[in-house]
Structure formats: structure tokens, C-alpha cells
Amino acid sequence: MIKEVDGGICAAQGFLAAGVHCGIRKNRTKRDLGLIISEVPAAAAAIYTKNLVKGAPIAITKKHIADGFARGVIVNSGNANTCNADGEEIAEAMCRLAAEGSGSFSLAPEDFMIASTGVIGQPLPIEPIANGIPMLYSELSHDGSNNTAEAIMTTDTKKKEIAVSFEVGGKTCTIGGIAKGSGMIHPNMATMLVFLTTDASIDSGLLHKALRNDADNTFHMISVDGDTSTNDMVCIMANGMAGNEKITAEGESYDAFCAALSYVTSFLCRAIAADGEGASHLLTCRVQGASDITIARVVAKSVICSSLTKAAIFGADANWGRVLCAIGYAGVDVDVTKIDVDFVSDKGRLPVCRSGAGVPFDEDIAKVILTEKEVIVDIFLNSGNANATAWGCDLTYDYVKINGDYRT
């Protein structure tokens, strides 16, 4: 049984967090520096953007968790620390400062994963971070998830955090997560920052496998604008403080862990898509009856990435032809003559296409269904048993307004 609990990244035993304003951002009301600490050594895993242009923190994180372990995460917003000549030097300095300020935790720079988000190509001054570290540690607490979730926000309008409890071998374990993501969302791994914590005991290699496999059904299946960002990372720490027998092989315990992980990451994916820049609708595409899982995923992703479909959802226009068009150019083999399409929301279900051809429907009913906050496009390929879901958002005037002057 998976049960939602309070606490975000601090819900799991042994994790503390904090978020403060240190001065990277000019706006003093916005937190811009975050910290997550495990009280004991933790197995660690991460997956990263596949954009060839990568933020310096990614290289440092890869190096620091090459042994499969970490004790903390240091993260800043307001500046992505990307395309800077001294980027890796600054990233290493952030880890060093976090270690020097750790007091009784006695941490080393190599104990930290690091992340940055914000404007690309702008030098990141180390002075505000150095000045903010003491305050960061002074606010570190088991109730700090909310402030840390705020500290990683950029154009996000809502904090994104969740935690769940689940059973492994008779022990209650917890997984918590926070995320940021609103624009430059089009995963080629995952395109946002996500930090996950768990008190489950699991082998670091299996932890990485679970995270990597989970991403195929979650982080790889979201898109806001088709832009794969440069600093994107999903990382997880597992400190074993729940006391379960260590998960060292696939089986019942591993499956229970993966199910809880999927619950958390699916929630965060939906939250990111719903909070897409300028978005007024969460767009969910459910593909059923594909001949294999790859086709199901590609079709679902093609539909939620279609600018014309996204614009139609914004206008509450049941233009199902745009859905068929997106399926047709997805680049996978489907039998168009078998495709059925419905539009669905809390207001009802509207069949619009059967066997690849339109069916009569009431435009007034369509408008009612499509004006809900979440609009679902159900696609039935009727060619097999594979299913997939993708999440996106509508395309609004505000997206251009937000990004027209993002830097200035």
C-alpha cells in the first residue's frame, strides 16, 4: 500500500533541508539557495540531460557520486552556471563551502551533489553563496522541504513536493521529492531539477537502475515547449534508516520500491506539466492498444508536443484532426484506419474519431469538456496491448510574454 504523507524531502527519516535568499537573485523575497543533508551516508544515483551543452554542476555531480554515495545536495536558482569559463571551479567551490560550513556533520566536498538553474551564460558570483552558507545551515531542519522547494523555483508559479510511505519486508519506508520545472521542458532524460530522498535501504546499483527505468515512463514523457535544457538532473539519496533488509536484487521488495518511486515521480511530472509557462490546462495523452511500448510512448509524446494540438486545447477547440496529424508524423508504424480518439475531462467523455474518421459530436458539449483544468486525449490504436501516458500543457499567449524578456 502506498500512502501520501506530509514532509516532502524531509519525510524520510534522517533528512534535513533548508532554503534561503543569499543574494543571487535581486528580489529579496525569493529564496535562491537550497541544501539537503542526510544524517548518515546514503546510496546515491542521478540521471542527467543529454543536451550536449551541459551545466558545470553536472560534471561535478557525476564525479562526486562515481562511488555510488552522497550525503547532501547544494543547489542555487537564478543562475544556471552554464557556458562559463570558470563554471566547474565555481561548482567545486560551492561544494567546498557547503562542506566547510557543515559543522558536526563533518562533510567533505565530495559528499555533495550540486545543481543550478536559471539564466544560461551569466557568470555566477561565489560571494553571495559563501555569505549564505552559514544562514543555510542555521535554518537546516526536518521541516525544511517547503523552503527548499521554493529556493529552486524560477518561472514556476507553484511549489512541487510530495512524499509517500510504503512497506518493504515489514518495515515502513518513505520516499519524498521536490521538483522545479516550468519552461525549457522537453526531456531527453529529464528536463528540470528533481531531488528525491528515501530512508529505504537499497544497493546503489539497483537504485540507479530503478531511477533510470522509471524515467522512461515519467520524466521522458513530459513536455512543455520542446526545448531540452542544459542543467537538468534527477537525483536520489537512499540512507537506509527505515531499517528494512537491504534490497540487493530484483524481486518483491524491489518492485515495492519501484512502485512507490513511480507514484512520486508521476505526481511531480504532472505538477511540472500543469505549471508550464503560461499554461492554463494540463494536457494528458493516454495511448492504449499499441503493438509495443515504444510505439505507445512515441505517439503519446508526439501529441502532447504538437503546437497545433496545444493551441487547440488553449482555445477549447475539439480539433481532433490535429491529434491524428501528430500521430501520423510521429515516425512509428500505426494503422491509421484503426485509430479511435476521445476527449475527456471531469465534465465527461466525447468521442470524436472512430477508425481514423470523424464522428458527429456536439460543439457545445465539446467546449464544456475542453474548458476543464485537465484535458485528456484518449487514443486507442487497437493494434496490441501496450499502453503509455504523456503529460504536457496548452500553448498560450503568456508563454511568449514570459520568454520574450526572460533574461532582461
Q: Which string of DSSP letters, residue by residue, matches 75-139?
A: EEEEE---S-TTHHHHHHHHHHHHHHT-GGG---GGGEEEEEEEETT----SHHHHHHHHHHHHT
Residues 362 and 337 sit within 8 Å (Cβ to Cβ): no
For the entire predicted model, the pTM comes to 0.91
Q: Alpha-carbon distance 353 to 129, whole Å? A: 56
**Which of the following is catalytic: 61, 82, 148, 191?**
191
**Amino acid found at 206:** L
DSSP 206: H
Residues carrying CATH 3.10.20.340, the chain: 282-404
Residue ranges in the chain whose pLDDT is less than 70:
183-191, 226-229, 406-407
Residues 35 and 72 sit within 8 Å (Cβ to Cβ): yes
pLDDT score recorded for residue 167: 98
Q: Which residues pair with 44 in a beta bridge?
A: 237
Mark whether 265 is an active-site residue: no
Topology adopted by domain 282-404:
Ubiquitin-like (UB roll) (3.10.20)
Residues carrying CATH 3.60.70.12, the chain: 3-274
Q: Could you give the strand order of the β-sheet that contains 340-345, starting from the edge strand earlier in sequence?
A: 357-358, 348-354, 340-345, 374-380, 282-290, 386-393
Closest CA to 210 of 166, 180, 249: 249
Buried b (16+ CB within 10 A) or exposed e, 262-278: bbbbbbbbbbbbbbbbb
The C-alpha cell of 200 is what?
A: 529505504
CA atoms within 13 A on the CB side of 168: 30
- CATH of segment(s) 3-274: 3.60.70.12
The C-alpha cell of 201 is what?
A: 535501504
Residue 50 CB contacts under 8 Å (≥ 6 apart), including other chains: 188, 189, 228
Q: Alpha-carbon distance 134 to 139, whole Å? A: 9
Q: Alpha-carbon distance 21 to 51, whole Å? A: 29
Q: Alpha-carbon distance 268 to 164, whole Å? A: 12
